[in-house]
Structure 1
Amino acid sequence: MQIILLLGLVGVAYAVYLIKSIWFTPLRNVPGPFLARFTNIWYLFQVHSGHVERKNCELHETYGPVVRYGPNRYSFNSPEAIKTIYGHSTQFAKSSFYDAFMVPGRWNVFTERNIKFHASLRREYQATFSMSNLVNFEPYVDQCAKLFDQRLHEVSEAGVAIDMGHWLQCYALDVISQITFAERLGTLDSGEDIGGVMKSLEDSFYYGSTVGVYGSIHPYLFAFVSFLDRLSGSGNGQGIGYVIKIAQEKINAYKAKPAAIYQETEDGSEEFVSKFMKQNAANPERFTTNHILNGCAMNIGAGSDTTGISLSAVLYYLLKNPGCMGKLREEIFAFRKEGRLSESPTYKQSQDMPYLQAVLKEALRLHPAVGQPLERVVPEGGATIDGKYFAQGNIVGVSCWAAHRNKAVWGQDADEFKPDRWLITDTDKLSAMNRSWMPFGVGSRTCLGRHISMLEMCKLVPRIIRDFDFELVDGLGAEWKTTAYWFVKPSNFRVRVRTRSTIS
């Protein structure tokens, strides 16, 4: 009887808490799905479904610029919210959602929630990832682009359709491995998932995107999953833990090479691990061996899916819009005829190609890699966002997908692929669009590897559009299928490839 009474009192207390938090909060009028007022299970279900990015866009279409998607979770899509939440001077820390993307007890730049510690970490890596360092990596990208070109010629000769999304990730994974360790993983050799790295990444993103909804349980669930892994005898680790293991093995193998390998080559190329080791040698207390490991693991963990997805989006939207494909090809051939585009296009050359740059920006607008809101916690003292006051502790965030389809910013054709929108002369309009364009994040947490991703795209896209014709197996009218577990990844993106008989 006492237990029943106790349970009854707990139930009543919880009911009172719900009534108070739902009906007597200043935010009770923020619209959203009914169940989301009571529980985060609604959001968890949407994430598990694999289409949370679409649902977020639908919510904003239905309810407006501010939407509730959990009892204390709020999504925004306006430029004002982007500036308030992510601006460089703001104090909105990441939410516990990001904890699920880390190995408990290990820090990394992406998941670190302490603003000051994150800033100190980022400073240590900033120079290596800077735009000025890009030229050091071009020879590595050229090697992989040439091999990818060869694979496409072989596919053309065989007359078979391929999953282009998979092959573009193979390219991106080999590039980032080459840039990081001066050694490809080998995915471009056969198209196989060497060492199961791709599968481990997919597992980690599913785990992180779902478990992150209840981030506080991550340490316990991770320990349980790791226990089951050891019990099974595989010993390989799970998800991001396996990626860290691979990175450590690569670092150890690199250190075992002759000392001469650490020197820069004649073309100026120098891999990340070499740069990191020099930083460690110069100041081992400031740039530790953990900095080396986390920098290398970060490259592998975040450097293939993002770029592979973005390249897939570029090709997909060009194939869905033949007029845009023709216009880009005209620009490529014109630059080649004028001697302004090399056999292996350089990054500098690509920057002079306005339509190419417009195509890249528009593809990343319509299909940014990340599909979930970039969650932050309202700091002490609360904050006013889009005219509403949010008390400290509430979780707020902007989804790139919703922000990139806000018709108040992009116009009534926001859902259409129109690269020419980036070629207008209205500087005020361009500035407004750029402020809402956030495929690599925004503010102090902008993706460190964004320049590398753009380097890979700027060099590969003009090359393959020049050398090959592509055709969607399912036809122009069919929409491709994607699954969103943190990253919105295409599945079975079937394409036929044909070598162009004449290259103007």
Structure 2
Amino acid sequence: MQIILLFGLVGVAYTAYLILRILFAPLRNVPGPFLARFTNVWYLFQVHTGHVERKNCELHETYGKYNLLEGPVVRYGPSRYSFNSPEAIKTIYGHSTQFAKSSFYDAFMVPGVWNVFTERNIKFHASLRREFQATYTMSNLVNFEPYVDQCARLFDQRLHEVSVAGVTIDIGHWLQCYALDVISQITFAERLGTLESGDDIGGVMKALEDSFYYASTVGIYGEVHPHLFAVVSFLDRLGVGGKGKGLGYVIKVAQEKINAYKAKPAAIYEETQDGSEEFVSKFMKQNATNPERFTTNHILNGCAMNIAAGSDTTGISLSAVLYYLLKNPGCMDKLREEIITFRNDGKLSESPTYKQSQDMPYLQAVLKEALRLHPAVGQPLERVVPEGGATIAGKYFAQGTIVGVNCWAAHRNKAVWGQDADEFKPDRWLTKDADKLSAMNRNWIPFGAGSRTCLGRHISMLEMCKLVPRIIRDFDFELADGLEADWKTVAYWFVKPSNFRVRVRIRSTVP
């Protein structure tokens, strides 16, 4: 009886503490779901449902309608706040910012094994990034075009076969196959083989899906990750839950590829005449030049992160481009007209080059608009308010508070994008208003912002710029469920299409 009474008193005391904290908290007026004031369980549930990006947008839309002062910031946890305003992007992610990543990102790493994406120490991250950055510049990546062309030709062949067979396909899966084989080719000088078979070779895609579900949910309680990861890894070794679970498996695959690469003849380390040289070769040369500065861990993490981050993002983005073009036939016609005109004028090769794509204004507008409406990441990019606190969107946030911008919400802010922010309108990027265009570019953040901008963004854009004009020129696509049906997506960190089915037909007559 006394134990029951003791637990009851503790419960009452804790409840009173929560109520008092809410009543007197400096940020008590920041709106948000009632449950989110008390616990992160509300956020966990939204992530688990697979549609957190929609809910985040709804929060800003709902509270922004009724209170313009509070609309730019909403609560999604007891100490978690989401923003959608330009000033918040600049304050939180600016190049001189001292806002470090939150513990949410710990769940994207194998405990004790650093990587550039998850590193939370600002100074150490800057030093790591410097070691990798030169390899990821666009001037360097254009040398990989022959590798991308190989995969594009294979993808083209698969589409021809599908057209002849007259079947529908999950184009989202095939676009990820393309992206995965490209990143494998430019990293290890060999494809995984997904384009040849259409299968998830070695279970890499499944491992990535597992890791993103794990990280997007467990990251909310980042402190439990080291312990839970140990349990999951132990169960995997026992064969419980299937083969190839999580990021640890992807790192294992990367190490095997590196070992196989090292076993090849020494001649492979020499650059080819076209200047292309796979990432693993470049990394190994850096290691040979300065093994203490660029260690074998740098080689492994660089290669593993290419695979981990380089297929889902590009596959999702390509799917978004195709989906929005199919939902907006007028835009598809306009893009195809530009592509055919460039081809007829001799400005577009059979295998389009990156340089040629940069001279195609409507193509570039389509790519930017698709990534605006469907950025790959669907959760807030969390940061921690530094020592001394910070004022964001007119409110003071104490140090240690978690703040972040969700690209989905920022990309739908009507103050930036206009009342048609929810609509797919590539022409908005062709405006002659220099100030408006500059504002849109500053607030277009599908690859992140500031010093933590995605290292691989140029690889993704290279793949899209080369593939999109090729397949729109050569094939007709049709949504299998009809023009009126919306596609289904699932958001576990990345907002990924689910069974995005289309019919494909070879364009028999090209003007």
TM-score by length of 1: 0.98
Q: Say whether residues 1:50 and 2:50 are aligned partners.
A: yes
Q: Say whether residues 1:174 and 2:181 are aligned partners.
A: yes
Distance change >3 Å, CA 233–CA 478, structure 1 → 2: closer
Q: What is the alpha-carbon distance in structure 1 between the residues aligned to residue 13 and residue 283 of structure 2?
A: 54
**Aligned partner of 2:479: which letter?**
L
Q: Say whether residues 1:208 and 2:212 are aligned partners.
A: no
Q: Say whether residues 1:325 and 2:332 are aligned partners.
A: yes
Aligned-residue offset at 1:95: 0.5
Which secondary structure state, in structure 1, belongs to the residue aligned with residue 271 of structure 2? coil
**Aligned partner of 2:263: which letter?**
A
2:427 alignment partner, one of 415, 420, 441:
420
Which secondary structure state, in structure 1, belongs to the residue aligned with residue 292 of structure 2? coil
Q: What is the alpha-carbon distance in structure 1 between the residues aligned to residue 236 and residue 344 of structure 2?
A: 57
Aligned-residue offset at 1:5: 5.6
Q: Say whether residues 1:294 and 2:306 are aligned partners.
A: no
Distance change >3 Å, CA 234–CA 73, structure 1 → 2: closer
Q: What is the alpha-carbon distance in structure 1 between the residues aligned to residue 310 and residue 456 of structure 2?
A: 7
1:383 alignment partner, one of 355, 373, 390:
390
The answer (yes or no) to whether the contact 2:386–2:399 under 8 Å persists in 1 is: yes
Aligned-residue offset at 1:136: 1.5
Runs of 4+ in 1 over 4 A off after TM superposition: 1-6, 233-237
Which secondary structure state, in structure 1, belongs to the residue aligned with residue 248 of structure 2? helix
The answer (yes or no) to whether the contact 1:243–1:301 under 8 Å persists in 2 is: yes
Deviations 1:218-253 (A, max 9, x none): 011101111111223799552000000000000000
Q: Say whether residues 1:482 and 2:489 are aligned partners.
A: yes
Q: Say whether residues 1:15 and 2:22 are aligned partners.
A: no
Deviations 1:456-478 (A, max 9, x none): 00000000000001100111100
What RMSD in Å do the two structures reach over aligned CA positions?
1.2
Aligned-residue offset at 1:7: 3.3
Aligned-residue offset at 1:62: 0.5
Q: Say whether residues 1:221 and 2:228 are aligned partners.
A: yes
Distance change >3 Å, CA 288–CA 202, structure 1 → 2: same
Deviations 1:342-374 (A, max 9, x none): 110000000000000000000000000000000
Q: What is the alpha-carbon distance in structure 2 between the residues aligned to residue 138 and residue 209 of structure 1?
A: 33
2:350 equivalent in structure 1 = 343
2:456 alignment partner, one of 430, 436, 449:
449
Aligned-residue offset at 1:134: 1.7
2:67 equivalent in structure 1 = none
Q: What is the alpha-carbon distance in structure 2 between the residues aligned to residue 2 and residue 229 of structure 1?
A: 44
The answer (yes or no) to whether the contact 2:203–2:244 under 8 Å persists in 1 is: no
2:27 equivalent in structure 1 = 27
Deviations 1:434-466 (A, max 9, x none): 111000000000000000000000000000000
The answer (yes or no) to whether the contact 2:431–2:437 under 8 Å persists in 1 is: yes
1:272 equivalent in structure 2 = 279
2:87 equivalent in structure 1 = 80
1:92 equivalent in structure 2 = 99
2:503 alignment partner, one of 479, 484, 496:
496
Q: What is the alpha-carbon distance in structure 2 between the residues aligned to residue 434 and residue 232 of structure 1?
A: 48
Q: What is the alpha-carbon distance in structure 2 between the residues aligned to residue 82 and residue 357 of structure 1?
A: 23
1:440 equivalent in structure 2 = 447
Deviations 1:190-211 (A, max 9, x none): 1000000000000000000011
2:117 alignment partner, one of 110, 127, 130:
110
Deviations 1:251-290 (A, max 9, x none): 0000000000111112111000000000000000000000
1:66 equivalent in structure 2 = 73
Structure 1 alignment gaps of length 5 or more:
none
Q: What is the alpha-carbon distance in structure 2 between the residues aligned to residue 168 and residue 233 of structure 1?
A: 30
Q: Say whether residues 1:468 and 2:470 are aligned partners.
A: no
2:250 equivalent in structure 1 = 243
2:361 equivalent in structure 1 = 354
Distance change >3 Å, CA 66–CA 233, structure 1 → 2: closer
- The 5-angstrom pairing of residues 371-410 of structure 1 reads 371-410=378-417
**Aligned partner of 2:94: which letter?**
G
The answer (yes or no) to whether the contact 1:473–1:494 under 8 Å persists in 2 is: yes
The answer (yes or no) to whether the contact 1:180–1:272 under 8 Å persists in 2 is: yes
1:370 equivalent in structure 2 = 377
Aligned-residue offset at 1:16: 3.8
Q: What is the alpha-carbon distance in structure 1 between the residues aligned to residue 442 and residue 379 of structure 2?
A: 19
Q: What is the alpha-carbon distance in structure 2 between the residues aligned to residue 441 and residue 17 of structure 1?
A: 37
Q: What is the alpha-carbon distance in structure 2 between the residues aligned to residue 181 and residue 10 of structure 1?
A: 58
Which secondary structure state, in structure 2, belongs to the residue aligned with residue 183 of structure 1? coil
**Aligned partner of 2:268: which letter?**
I
**Aligned partner of 1:384: which letter?**
T
Which secondary structure state, in structure 2, belongs to the residue aligned with residue 128 of structure 1? helix
Q: What is the alpha-carbon distance in structure 1 between the residues aligned to residue 172 and residue 57 of structure 2?
A: 24
**Aligned partner of 1:200: which letter?**
A
Shifted more, 18-27 versus 246-255: the winner is: 18-27
Q: What is the alpha-carbon distance in structure 1 between the residues aligned to residue 472 and residue 235 of structure 2?
A: 47
Which secondary structure state, in structure 2, belongs to the residue aligned with residue 176 of structure 1? helix
Deviations 1:41-75 (A, max 9, x none): 00000000000000000000011211000000000
Q: What is the alpha-carbon distance in structure 2 between the residues aligned to residue 114 and residue 209 of structure 1?
A: 21
Q: What is the alpha-carbon distance in structure 2 between the residues aligned to residue 231 and residue 492 of structure 1?
A: 31
Which secondary structure state, in structure 2, belongs to the residue aligned with residue 75 of structure 1? strand
Q: Say whether residues 1:152 and 2:159 are aligned partners.
A: yes
Shifted more, 17-26 versus 198-207: the winner is: 17-26
Which secondary structure state, in structure 1, belongs to the residue aligned with residue 136 of structure 2? coil
2:310 alignment partner, one of 303, 306, 309:
303
The answer (yes or no) to whether the contact 2:206–2:245 under 8 Å persists in 1 is: no
Which secondary structure state, in structure 2, belongs to the residue aligned with residue 127 of structure 1? helix
1:458 equivalent in structure 2 = 465
Distance change >3 Å, CA 430–CA 135, structure 1 → 2: same
Q: What is the alpha-carbon distance in structure 1 between the residues aligned to residue 6 and residue 244 of structure 2?
A: 42
The answer (yes or no) to whether the contact 1:82–1:398 under 8 Å persists in 2 is: yes
The answer (yes or no) to whether the contact 1:226–1:237 under 8 Å persists in 2 is: no
